[in-house]
Amino acid sequence: MARFIGLDIGSFSIKVVALSKKGQGFRLETIGIALNPYGARPGADDASQTRVAEAVKKLLSDLKIAGAKAAMALAESQVYTKVIVMPVLSDSELASAIHWEAEQYVPVPLDQVNIDYEVISRPEKGSADQKMEVLLVGAPKTAVKQMAQFSEKCGVELVSLETELIAVSRSMIPDTNEPAPIMLVHLGSSSTDIAVVKSGMLVFTHSLESGGSALTRVLANELGLEFPQAEEYKRSYGLDPSQLEGKVRESLFPLVERNFSDMKKALSYYNSAHQEEPIKRVVLSGGAALLPELVSAMAESLALEVVLGNAFVRVEPSEHASIPGDTVSFATAVGLAMKEV
């Protein structure tokens, strides 16, 4: 029975993954998915949270998981994330200075947030470059408390909490020694989150409010469809111009193009500050990344190599759990499960 799980509560679906260590990689012990019947997430009203918690408990029961410890994730929209540049400091000096730095970047009183940080780069002593980069994360205490209360309702013990992008980067960008920057685009149901990952570290983050559900709503309005049918059309036909006389593509493409435009702005912002090593590759994750013809359309728009990621690239199947054909939708759950193994 799984004792530690990655539990991803998305607005579209609920995912559970349990791993064990195998050599330099992992073995898949348990995997499961269920629709989120109410589209609610931790932090919603009590009635909605209770209903979603019941759906989680049913999924865990079906997977024969009881009394597990869980790693969960906060949505990027719930946290304050910033890469800050500071003078080179020792660990003890940084611990003393970080709260002063946080006051400049976190737009709420610091007594209302939990502050965490990680050094991205620190030049050697005597180096000409005397600036260091630090990833600063501020999580509202109310959001942390809500997640803890929700986990109790689900019957699991919350032992780890981080942002979705940190979890996704762990599963999708496995080579922590890769020095070239990679843009990671996580296309979820309610948002699109962007990160630049370099040597296994997040060095830039940005979020767009538009996700897969927004595309479904556009399609429903444009073609006069009920939401479930629009979701099916989106997943089946996507941006393929040869399907349904291109009507689905025509309905979706204006919003897709706006998202591409926002991605270009993020690319330009990062590349202008790192002209010596610009981004050349984009990795997609999240369920909305499976939109037909999205990869080719994005590659053409961004003029970059774009690929679907594989959250299971370091994970082997076991006799009781197989790797799913969909390797992008489980990115958050797999990354969470990897953290404590």
Please report whether residue 198 resides in a domain: no
**Phi, psi (degrees; rounded to nearest 5) at 281:** -140, 140
pLDDT at 289: 96
DSSP characters over 53-118: HHHHHHHHHHTT--S-EEEEEE-GGGSEEEEEEEE---HHHHHHHHHHHHHHH-SS-GGGEEEEEE
Count of the separate structural domains present in the chain:
3
**Phi, psi (degrees; rounded to nearest 5) at 160:** -150, 135
Q: Of the residues 89, 121, 140, which one is the last residue of a structural domain?
A: 140
Please report whether residue 180 resides in a domain: no
pLDDT at 209: 87
Beta strands 13-22 and 4-9 are antiparallel
Same domain, 60 and 129: no
Please report whether residue 133 resides in a domain: yes
Residue 61: pLDDT over 60: yes
pLDDT in tens, 140-155: 999 999 999 999 999 9
Same domain, 103 and 44: no
pLDDT in tens, 63-81: 999 889 999 999 998 999 9
Mean pLDDT, all residues of the chain:
92
pTM of the model: 0.92
Same domain, 262 and 161: no
Q: Are 279 and 194 in contact (CB under 8 A)?
A: no
Please report whether residue 253 resides in a domain: yes
- The C-alpha atoms of residue 22 and residue 318 are separated, in whole angstroms, by 11
Residue 94: pLDDT over 60: yes
